[in-house]
Every structure is written in structure tokens, then in C-alpha cells.
Amino acid sequence: MSRRARVVTALVMAPVAIGAVLFLPTPLLAALIAGLMMLGLWEWTLLSATPAPTARAAYLAANVSMMTALAWAAGSGMQVLQLAAYVGVAWWLLVLVWLSRFDFASVDSFGSRVLKLVAGSLSVIPAWAALCWLHMTTPNGHAWALYALLIVWLADTGAYFVGVRFGKHKLAPRISPGKSWEGFAGGLAATLLLAVAGLPALGLGWDVLPTLLLLTAVTALFSVAGDLFESLLKRHAGAKDSSHLIPGHGGVLDRLDSLLAALPIFAVGKHWLGL
């Protein structure tokens, strides 16, 4: 990826994303994010070696149906979105185990394809539900949703630039050789600075800063897990990027991977911690 293309694309996309989160009503934002996630899920089917376009289309239709059912049920209360987010947390804890077993489901077979398609649904739907839950929360739901996204963006940006400059110790060499512990530390530091700066915007007092720092750090950690999990799928598929749709960034899934893990972790963590 060209560093210049990466930066220019990010500078174009970031204001649009921020404006959408802050100013769109939740139903419109939910529809927009669902559309983006379906693009990412289409790329997921390619990484999962699902050959037939009809099978991929049916898979996407099933996921759209599940999202539609969740949106309809959420009209009577947020409990169904909360449940989906909790399912996402359980799923990403299992992914941590999967990441330690590089060769698991690496051989192309019917079973591994089905497993990876199920993994796609378990990654995408809870993340979408978690973002909707955050956005609907009162007070400051839009600010909380934006904060969750900023954690991921800053973790990724900090890791990229610190890793390029100082990265020497590989974080996960078999899965993603370009990632380093130094980059991880740089990304984490950037998110912790965000917590300090973002406290007033979230309507919180300084007494809860340690709690927000904890939530931010855990979310940043899982954002890396989301990134690594997509990298694992790409390694299995022999692909460098999920597609070439976004200049300098690869595919849609390459931009969503960290968010898929971070959003349910953040939403559930916020709920548990009483923020």
C-alpha cells in the first residue's frame, strides 16, 4: 500500500464517517453501516473460498434478514441489540483461541468454508448491533459511538506510524509479519491519550478516568485481534487484501476488521462498567 494513498484516502473518509455518526439518526446510520458491512461480508465470502455467486448472494441475504429482524425487534427495546453484542463478546473470546491455532481450518474443505461463513456472521452482526446500541444510548449516544470508532482509528494509525518507524519485534509473524509490538504500544498510547481528551465530550467527570482508560485499552486490544483474524483468513486464502476497492487501504473488510471486534467489546464493557 502506498503511504500517500493511505493517508489521502483516510483524510477523505474520516470527515464523512464522523459526520454520519454525529448527525444521522440511528435508523439511517444503521442502514448505511449495514450496507458497508454487507460489502465487507461479500469480500469475506471470497476469502472463505465460497465459489458460487448464488451461494454468496444467499449468504448475504440471510445476514440482511437477521439484521432486519434485529432492527424490527429493537423498536420495542434495546435488549435484542444488547444480546447480540454479548454474543459478539463470547465469539471474540473464542477467536483469541483460534488465533493461537494458525492451521485450524486452513485446508480448503466444505467444513472450513462453512465454519468461516459462520464466523463472518458472528463477526459482522454483533458489531452492527453494538454500534446501533451505542448510538441509541442516552445521553450522548452519538458521542459514545464516535468514541468507539476513534479508538479503533487511532489504534490503527498509531500502530502504523510507530511500527513503520520503530517496529523491530514481530507481534504475530505467521499471521501478519508487518505488525510489531512497538506499533501495538504506539497505538495503545494514542488511544489512552484519546481517553483523557475525550472525557469531557462524553459528559464524564474526571473521577471515572481510570474506568474509561481500562475500557479504552481493552477495546484497543481486541481491535488488534479483529485485524489479526482477518489477516489469518487472508493467509489461508493466499490474499494480500480483501479486495482493491479503497485506494491505499485494500478492501472494505480491511477497514472494518478491527471494528468488528472492538464494537461489541466496547459496548458490553461500557454497560458492565456503568459508563
> In whole angstroms, how far apart are CA 182 and each of 17, 22, 99, 138, 161?
28, 33, 20, 37, 10
pLDDT band of 247, cuts 50, 70, 90: low
Say if residues 68 and 31 touch (Cβ distance below 8 Å).
no
At residue 242 the predicted structure's pLDDT band, cuts being 50, 70 and 90, is confident
What's the CA gap between 260 and 91, in Å, rounded? 11
What number of other Cβ atoms are within 10 A of residue 1's Cβ? 15
Per-residue CA distances from 45 to 19, 57, 154, 210, 234 (Å): 30, 10, 28, 40, 11
What are the strands, taking DSSP E only, across 86-228?
A: 170-172, 176-180
**What is the rounded average pLDDT of the residues 47-76?**
92
Whether the per-residue pLDDT at 250 is higher than 50: the answer is yes
- Structure confidence at residue 1 (pLDDT): 47
- Tell me how far apart the alpha carbons of residues 52 and 211 are, in angstroms, rounded to a whole number: 47
Residue 239 pLDDT level (bands cut at 50, 70, 90): confident
CB 145 within 8 A of CB 198: no
CA–CA dist 65, 180 (Å, integer): 39
Q: Is the pLDDT of residue 2 over 60?
A: no
- Domain spans, the chain: 3-273
